[in-house]
């Protein structure tokens, strides 16, 4: 049975699947989530980064914990803030989701959006510990 999963890819897929409330035209995180920053305008988007984790919680419980950060950018500080708050709320409500290569079980330790400007560009940081299971 596989032990490792691509946590960033699963988080990106989950984030971009939230088209009813989070991602897409008319939603706060309009452009979606990426593993590398996109080129072009500053429509609200998130860049996902793995910041730590563990391959398995125990031999009996092979679930993986991954600490991830979403760097949420926006055209304005208000747009970035709206997108970061919406993302944090979606993470708090997460209760299991299958994705490519693994299942995203739950998010824990979700941080409130923290304003961390990137020079003149508005950016907020949202972090969470995700619990994943290889499939």
Report yes or no on 1 lying in a domain: no
Question: For the whole prediction, is pTM greater than 0.75?
Answer: yes
Q: What percent of the chain has pLDDT over 90?
A: 64
**Alpha carbon distance 85, 65 (integer Å):** 23
Report how many domains make up the chain. 1
Q: What percent of the chain has pLDDT over 70?
A: 90
**101 or 26, which is more confident:** 26
**Alpha carbon distance 126, 135 (integer Å):** 27
What CATH number corresponds to the domain at position 31? Answer: 3.30.2000.30
71: domain range? 7-134
Report yes or no on 2 lying in a domain: no
Report yes or no on 59 lying in a domain: yes
**What would the mean pLDDT of 84-98 be, rounded to a whole number?**
91
Q: Are 123 and 87 in contact (CB under 8 A)?
A: no
């Amino acid at each position: 049975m596989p032990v490792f999963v691509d946590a960033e890819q699963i988080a990106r897929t989950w984030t971009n699947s939230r088209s009813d409330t989070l991602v897409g035209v008319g939603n706060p995180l309009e452009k979606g989530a990426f593993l590398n920053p996109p080129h072009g305008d500053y429509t609200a988007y998130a860049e996902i980064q793995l910041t730590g984790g563990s391959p398995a919680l125990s031999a009996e419980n092979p679930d993986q914990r991954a600490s991830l950060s979403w760097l949420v950018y926006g055209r304005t500080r208000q747009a970035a803030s709206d997108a970061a708050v919406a993302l944090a709320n979606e993470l708090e409500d997460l209760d299991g989701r299958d994705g490519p290569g693994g299942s995203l079980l739950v998010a824990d330790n979700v941080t409130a959006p923290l304003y961390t400007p990137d020079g003149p560009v508005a950016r907020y940081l949202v972090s969470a510990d995700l619990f994943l299971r290889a499939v």
